[in-house]
Amino acid sequence: MKTTIADLSVGEKGVIQDISFDNVPLKLLEMGCLPGKEVELMQIAPLQDPLYIRVNGSHLAIRKETAKLIQITKSENLCEILKS
């Protein structure tokens, strides 16, 4: 199983590795959600969906189904290094 944004817990960060471009709306990319960018899970809505993320300076809410299409590597303790 590959790790996606949907696997983060609140407060955790990761770096976007790959996006299932065919299924993810162009709008999400246009709002700054791109490979190589750091993503942080800010909050999960009370019914476990949607997810509130911070990516590339944007604060966005996306549905879990979309979050599952965005692969990441978790950055447990590497947040400091990845901040650029």
Partner 1 sequence: MRNTEVIKVALIGNPNTGKSSIFNQLTGLNQKVSNYPGVTVEKKSGTTRLTNKVTATISDLPGTYSINPSSLDENIVLQALLNPDNEYPDVVVVVADVENLKRNLFLFSQIKDLELPAILVVNMADQMKRKGISLDIEQLKVELNSDVLLVSARKNIGIEDLRKSILNYKQLDTSTIENISDRIDADFFSRVRQSFKDMTLYKSWLLITQHHNFSNISENLQKRINSFRVDTGQLKKMQNRETILRYQYINNILKKTYTVDTSKATGLRFKLDKVLTHRIFGYVIFASILLLIFQSIFDWASVPMDFIDATFAKLSELTKNELRPGPLTNLIAEGIIPGIGGIIIFIPQIAILFFLISILEETGYMSRVVFLMDKIMRRFGMSGKSVIPLISGTACAIPAIMAARNISGWKERLVTILVTPFTTCSARLPVYAIIIALVIPNQRILGIFSFQGLTLMGLYLLGFFAAISSGYLLNHTLKVKGKSFFVIEMPNYKIPSFKNILFNVLEKTKAFVFGAGKIILTISIILWFLASNGPATFSNASEIVKKEYIDQGLSESEFNQKIASYKLEHSYIGIAGKYIEPAIKPLGYDWKIGIALLTSFAAREVFVGTLATIYSVESDNDTATIKERMANEINQDTGEKQFDLPVGMSLLIFYAFAMQCMSTLAIVKRETNSWKWPLLQLFGMTALAYLASLLTFTLLK
Measured CA to CA, the distance from residue 81 to residue 43 in angstroms comes to: 23
**Rg of the chain taking only CA atoms, in angstroms:** 12
For residue 42, the tally of other CB atoms under 10 A from its CB is 15
Identify which of residues 21 and 73 has a Cβ nearer to partner 1 in the complex. Answer: 21
CB of 73 to partner 1, least distance (A): 19
> Which residues are at the interface with partner 1 (CB under 8 A)?
21-22, 25-32, 34-35, 42-43, 45-50, 52, 56-63, 66
Identify which of residues 61 and 82 has a Cβ nearer to partner 1 in the complex. Answer: 61
CB of 15 to partner 1, least distance (A): 15
Contact call for residues 55 and 36 (beta carbons, < 8 A): no
